Amino acid sequence: MLLLCVLPVRAVDGDWGLGALEEDTPAAAREFLGEATSDEDAQTLFSGIFYAAGEKLRERVREELRFCVVLFSVVTISSVAELGDVSGRAQRAIRLASVLAVASSGVTEMNSFTAEALATLQELSDYSRSLLLVMAGSASLSGAVAGSAARCAATALVMDLLLSVGTGLIAPAVCGYTALSISDAAVGNKALRSAAGLMQTLCTLSLSALALGFTFWLGVISSLSGSAEAAGVKLTRTLLSNGLPLVGKLVSDAAASLSAAAGLVRATAGVFGLAVVLSLCMGSFLRLGCRYLAFRLTAVLCRCCSETPLSALLEDLASAYAMLLSLLGTGALCVFMAVWSLMRMSL
C-alpha cells in the first residue's frame, strides 16, 4: 500500500492514459464522434453522436428507398410477365430471370457488407484492449487487481473467439445461406431451404453461446473477486491506521484519495470509451440495418400483392443481413458489458 501511494505520483501529472485513448480512436468513430475528447460530459458526447447518426440516417434512407423501388419493380414486372403467359410455357424461364435479377441486386454488395462487418469487429477488438487496459490500470490502483485483470482477459478472449467465429463460420455461413436461398427460389427444393435454415440456426446458436458465456463469466468474476478485494483493501487501511501512529493515518488517507482519483479516471475512460465503441459501430449498424429493412419492407409489400418465390427470397436476403448485424451487435454488447462492469467496480 505504501508503494501504491508513491508510484502514482508521476501518473497524476499526466492524463492516466486518457490521451492515448483519444489518439487511438479509429477514424470510423471520429465520423460520428467529431473532435470530442474525454473532457466532454456524457450528454454532450452521446447527443453529438446521435445527431451525426441522424444526418447519416437520412442520407441512407433515401438510398435504400431507391433500392426498394428497384426491387419492387423487378417483382412487379415478374408478376405481370407470369400473368401474361397464358399457356404457362415460359413460367420457368420467367421465374429464373426474376430470381437472377433480384439476386444480382441483393448479392452485389453482400461481400462488401460482410468485409465491413469483420473490419469493424477487428477495430472494435483492438480499441477495446486499449480501453480496458486503461480502466484496469486505474482499478488496480484501488486494489482490484485480480478482478480487473480477469475482466480484461475474458473480454480479449471473447473478442478473439468472436473474430474467429465471424471469419471461419459466420461469413461463410452467410454466403452459403444466400446461395442456398437463391437456389431454392429458382428451383423450389425443400432440401435447399432446410439446409439454409440449418446454417441460420448454427450462426444464431454460436453467437448466443458466446454472449451468454461471457455474461456468465463476468457475473462469476464480479461475485468472487469484488467482495474479497474490497475486504482486503479495508483490512490493509485499518492495519495501517492502527499499526503506525500518525504516519499510518496519513498513508491510509492518501490511499483513500488515490483510490477515489482512480475511480474518477475509470469512470471518465468508461464514458468516453462507450462513446467511441458506439461511434465505431454506428456506421456499420446504419448501413446494415437500412439494407436489412429495405429487403424486409420490399418482401412485405410483395406479399401484399402476390405470394411468389421472390417474396421468400427477399426475406431470406434480409435474414442474411440480420446475421451480419447479430455478429457486430454481439461484439459491441460484450465490450459494453465489460466496460460497464469495470465502471461499476467499487472498493
User: How do residues 154-191 score in pLDDT, each as one tens digit?
Assistant: 788 888 888 888 888 888 999 889 989 888 888 878 88
Could you give the angle at which helices 309-343 and 190-243 cross, rounded to 10 degrees?
10
User: Quick check: is 16 in a domain?
Assistant: no
- Those residues with Cβ within 8 angstroms of residue 276's Cβ, 6 or more apart along the chain or in another chain: 21, 25, 26, 29, 33, 127, 131
User: Quick check: is 28 in a domain?
Assistant: no
pLDDT at residue 228 is higher than 50: no
User: Quick check: is 37 in a domain?
Assistant: no
Burial of 104 (0-12, 13-18, 19+ CB in 10 A): exposed
Q: What is the pLDDT of residues 13-38, one digit of tens each?
A: 455 567 888 888 888 888 898 888 87
- What is the reported pLDDT for 240? 46
Q: CA 101 to CA 116: how far, in whole Å? A: 24
User: Quick check: is 227 in a domain?
Assistant: yes
Q: Where is average pLDDT lowest: 93-102, 149-158, 215-224?
A: 215-224
- What is the reported pLDDT for 290? 93
- Those residues with Cβ within 8 angstroms of residue 223's Cβ, 6 or more apart along the chain or in another chain: none
User: Quick check: is 310 in a domain?
Assistant: yes
Pick the more confident residue, 104 or 250: 104
- What is the reported pLDDT for 20? 80
- What is the reported pLDDT for 270? 81
Residue 204 domain boundaries = 54-343
Closest CA to 316 of 186, 114, 181, 194: 181
- Structural domain count of the chain: 1
User: Quick check: is 152 in a domain?
Assistant: yes
Q: CA 193 to CA 44: how far, in whole Å? A: 48
- What is the reported pLDDT for 15? 58
User: Quick check: is 65 in a domain?
Assistant: yes
Helices (H) and strands (E) in the chain, counts: 12, 0
How many Cβ atoms are within 10 Å of 257's Cβ, its own excluded? 11
User: Quick check: is 258 in a domain?
Assistant: yes
Give this prediction's pTM.
Answer: 0.81
